[in-house]
């Protein structure tokens, strides 16, 4: 086992095991019934996967206990070329320009989740510490700069959130925000339900909100990533279900780091108006 170095694929740094398999990933053809859950790493992927799985199973509590999340909702970059059964929720962290074209040609439904840059960075930092296959994050201050340069797995957060944002209407992408999900999970579960053309009872929706609370997902061995061997995910360093909060960046950034980050952010994001919150 090793921490895979990053290798650039069309200017996007990817872990070497993914980069070396990229032609196969690019050739993947989904079924039109497949659903894509796309995120920058640590933006709320697993949470969304669990919500969608429960929506597709009418809120059956057993649904989220039948197998670990990555089995129920395969990770495109890691699973290709193993056949992914159709009608599945497929997870990807690829920026939009690297998503296999078959997803758009087949008009697959796509849910994108974005999380404010500072919390996303903090979560990624702790994940890079615990995930023994990703490059070492190094010291905190240096990591902020790596993130700002896009020198982390799956590249620039800025390009990622923008890429899906500008295409969201043309490609019928449901673009969600982690902060909205925290603020009013029920409202966001209902948005996902409508996007999937489902209509579930109020009672079922309440159950889904409850089953996908941070606490319940942390306690569910099928969604808390305890299925991954500790040589890969070392939960003693940092749990996969770490905090699940908005604004934890305030416990990490000094006021100088925050100011420097904000100035760079303004410049990088000046060409779009994505309504991120809780950044300042």
Footprint of ligand A3P on this chain (CB under 6 A)? 39, 41-47, 123, 126, 212-214, 217, 241-244, 248
Active-site residue, 93 included? yes
CB nearer ligand A3P, residue 102 or residue 243? 243
CB of 38 to ligand A3P, least distance (A): 11
Helices (H), the chain: 16-19, 22-26, 45-56, 69-72, 76-79, 102-105, 117-130, 140-149, 157-167, 178-183, 185-195, 202-211, 214-219, 255-268
Alpha-carbon separation of residue 235 from 120, 177, 252 (angstroms): 19, 26, 20
How big is the CA angle at 100 (ends 99 and 101), to the nearest 5 degrees? 110
CB of 113 to ligand A3P, least distance (A): 7
Pairing of strands 12-15, 6-9: antiparallel
Residue 83 or 277: the one with the smaller Cβ distance to ligand A3P is 277
Active-site entry in 57, 93, 145, 235: 93
Q: In the complex with ligand A3P, which residue's Cβ is closer, 164 or 169?
A: 164
Minimum distance between the CB of residue 185 and ligand A3P, rounded to whole angstroms?
8
Cβ atoms within 10 A of the Cβ of 136, count?
A: 10
Cβ distance to ligand A3P smaller for residue 31 or 140 = 140
Whole-number minimum distance, CB 42 to ligand A3P, in Å? 4
Q: What is the set of active-site residues?
A: 93
């Amino acid at each position: 086992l090793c921490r895979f170095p990053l290798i650039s694929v069309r200017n996007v740094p990817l872990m070497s095991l993914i980069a070396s398999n990229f032609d196969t990933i690019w050739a993947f053809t989904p079924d039109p019934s497949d659903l894509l859950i796309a995120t920058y790493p640590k933006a709320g992927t697993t949470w969304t996967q669990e919500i969608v799985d429960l929506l597709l199973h009418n809120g059956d509590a057993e649904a989220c206990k039948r197998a670990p999340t990555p089995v129920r909702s395969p990770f495109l970059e890691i699973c290709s070329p193993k056949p992914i059964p159709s009608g599945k929720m497929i997870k990807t962290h690829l920026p939009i320009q690297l998503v296999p074209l078959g997803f758009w040609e087949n008009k697959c439904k796509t849910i994108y989740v974005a999380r404010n840059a500072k919390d996303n960075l903090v979560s990624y930092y702790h994940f890079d510490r615990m995930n023994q296959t990703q490059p070492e994050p190094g010291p905190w201050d240096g990591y902020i700069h790596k993130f700002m340069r896009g020198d982390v797995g799956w590249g620039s957060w800025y390009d990622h959130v923008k890429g899906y944002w500008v295409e969201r209407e043309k490609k019928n992408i449901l673009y969600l925000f982690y902060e909205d999900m925290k603020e009013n999970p029920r409202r966001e579960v209902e948005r996902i339900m409508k996007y999937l053309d489902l209509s579930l009872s109020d009672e079922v929706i309440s159950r889904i909100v409850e089953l996908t609370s941070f606490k319940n997902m942390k306690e569910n061995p099928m969604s808390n990533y305890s299925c991954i061997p500790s040589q890969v995910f070392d939960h003693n360093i940092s749990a996969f279900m770490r905090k699940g909060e908005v604004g934890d960046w305030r416990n990490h950034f000094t006021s100088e780091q925050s100011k420097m980050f904000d100035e760079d952010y303004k410049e990088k994001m000046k060409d779009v108006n994505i309504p991120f919150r809780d950044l300042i």
